[in-house]
Chain A
Amino acid sequence: MTPPADRPVVLEIQGLTKFFGGLRAVSDFGVTIRERELVGLIGPNGAGKTTVFNMITGIYVPSAGSIKFQGTELAEMAPHTITQIGIARTFQNIRLFPNLTVLDNVRIAYHPHAGYGMLDALTHGGKFTSLERELTEKAQDFLGVFRLQDRQGEIARNLPYGEQRRLEIARALAAEPKLLLLDEPAAGMNPAEVATLMDLIHFIRDRFSLTILLIEHQMRVVMGICEWMSVMDFGEVIARGTPQEIQANQRVIEAYLGRGAAALAQKLREKRTHAA
């Protein structure tokens, strides 16, 4: 396999800034992500992580800066176009289509690839029958990958929490992205569920040759699966590096625990090294 540094750049963000009124939610954010990397974006609450996601996916228009996806500038594109050129996401608080079946949730994500037009849809003629069957079978295959195929007729909101998360990831993948953005995929999960989720993320990355950027609060998850990560605090990037580097980074510990606690942690560590 080609070493990571030689692979083509998928996402390049430079100087990304967002103001909400007088509040600077994100300032001068930058990141470069290469193909098939699994990157984490961490930071305390309110650091601006989700705002970065919302700008990448076109929900917010950046106040300044550029977002380049495989060389295409995204800054003024409509959200649905951004999805269609290959970026899909999940949401922090799950956003399924709650009153539709599990199957239809996934089939909706296939819509841009459906291949038949309005006229075929209204008459059910022409290419409709064969393309609709093809689309349905593809969606069912996806549900199979996520072990949801027996749930296809279930109404989405009736699924247990863990399965809703899985369905949301399945739906995002059905949009056939090259870059997948996961917003706190482990939120509200118990340790066992978190472990399966970590396996799942690795698995989909390999199976669909994806590049993944994920926001996460649970250190166990990011440290366990991400190759490297960016740490944000108060809208700025304060550190960047591999899990080991980040764990030892003084500014990160300060951001998470506060200055006093960080100093305490430092002292404890020194004591331990002395004792050894």
Chain B
Amino acid sequence: MMARKLDRNSILFFGGALVLFAVVQILISVGVLTDYYSNILRIGAVMAIVSLGLNLIYGFNGQFSLGQWGFYAIGAYAAADLTYRWSKLHTANGLTVLLMVVLFVGLALWGLGRLLSRVRGLDILSAFGLYLVAVFAAAYLGVRVGGMLAEPVTGLLNAMPPKLASQLVFFLAVLLAGVVAAEVAYLFGLPVLTLGSDYFGIATLGFTIIVKVLLDNSDTMFGFEEMKGARGMIGIPHETTWAWVFVFLLAVVVITRNLLHSSEGRAVVSVREDEIAAKAMGIDVARYKNLAFVIGSLFAGLAGALYAHINGFLHPDNFNFIRSFDPMIIIVFGGLGSVTGTVVAAFGWAILLEGVLRLFLPAGFETWRFVVYPLLLLIMMLLRPSGLLGAFELPFLKRILPPLKATTPAATDAKGGPA
């Protein structure tokens, strides 16, 4: 009975999502929704993805992170570089190098993690040092191997129809951007997640600032000529369609929901509820903090990659730390720990604050943003601390209380049990 009910909710959810997608797609195709509006919708979906990641970290795991904007930036630049190299320089070397780097670094992190789990009493910073060495070695190896693979892969992609090849490169670039952000998050989280929540917030803020400074100097410090440092990167192909953002948003929502409705998800939430009690219940608190942080940052990386291909233009100023507060505002409006609320608030944020209001408000509104947003946040926290939608979730996303078994045998023989 439970299974059937679950199925009905899934059908309603996916059916509803399909209808929503089709309606918007048709409106875009026939030109009712101009580029301006479709842009706002795509931005809304991208913000929903980052905010879902942040909600996983802050709303469900209780770790206050201002670093999501940094991971968003990493994802944006990583993906943009790959597609730029393919479309403008006609080489797949970006793709193969990053793929190999991600693969080797992933293997190094996993292998070292297994190895170190057997060593007792190793302090965090020495472990972090070992990880850092392993990661740099793996990355170097990745660059070498990736460079060797570049030519054959370029040939392979050239053999495909050009449309298909560019879509494939784009898709892989977005996925890789997410994984890069996740791996950086894993490494960064190792020492930093051992801090208390407030200090973690400050450290992640620092992270976002560092990323921005590195991007300002990407051409001079790292030799990525095409990123053009503080002048801004141009010429990124406009690949992010409504269909792409929708598919990624749907996947992120479903993955978040599946995670939260599992034992792993309950472990994540238990850390927010009471760390000491969670430890006493056998939950590896450090592992689940890192898990939430890595998955949340993976989402941020995906979102950044999708964002880069909307306008075809990236500037380090877009990744200023002050904009870390945008996803934070969204999840407070949507409700900490609410998936439906986050998605609704992200679209609301894009449509109302970034879209419609700009049409009506005078030109100086830009500068007033950071007066208006905090005020809204303040009002929100005073009037609706649980978010605009409160405890509402779509049935598909809601935790379902399993029915009791018809007979609970244990209940009947509890003679000595309390009345």
Contact = CB atoms under 8 A, between A and B. Distances in A.
B165 interface: no
Contact of A80 (B259, B285, B411, B416): B285
Interface in A143-202: 144-147, 149, 152-153, 166, 171-172, 175, 196-197, 199-200, 202
B284 interface: yes
B88 interface: no
A174 B270 CA distance: 15
Of B121, B255, B291, B411, which is in contact with the most chain A CB atoms at under 10 Å from its CB?
A: B411
A104 B414 CA distance: 22
A141 interface: yes
A124 B261 CA distance: 9
Contact of A121 (B121, B263, B401): B263
Contact of B418 (A133, A149, A197): A197
Interface string B1-26: 00100000000000000000000000
Contacts of B411: 144-145, 147, 149
Contact of A171 (B3, B279, B281, B417): B281
A69 interface: no
B150 interface: no
B277 A95 contact: yes
Given A141-B409, A141-B410, A101 B281 contact: no
Nearest to A57: B280
A87 to B, nearest CB: 9
A78 B279 CA distance: 9
Interface string A102-124: 01100111111010101011111
Contacts of A120: 262
Nearest to A200: B418
B393 interface: no
Given A83-B280, A147-B418, 18 more contacts: A80-B279, A84-B282, A96-B274, A97-B270, A97-B273, A98-B274, A99-B273, A111-B264, A114-B263, A121-B259, A122-B262, A123-B258, A124-B261, A132-B263, A144-B408, A172-B280, A175-B281, A199-B418
Interface of B: 3, 120-121, 255, 258-259, 261-267, 269-270, 273-274, 276-285, 291, 399, 401-402, 404-405, 408-411, 414-419
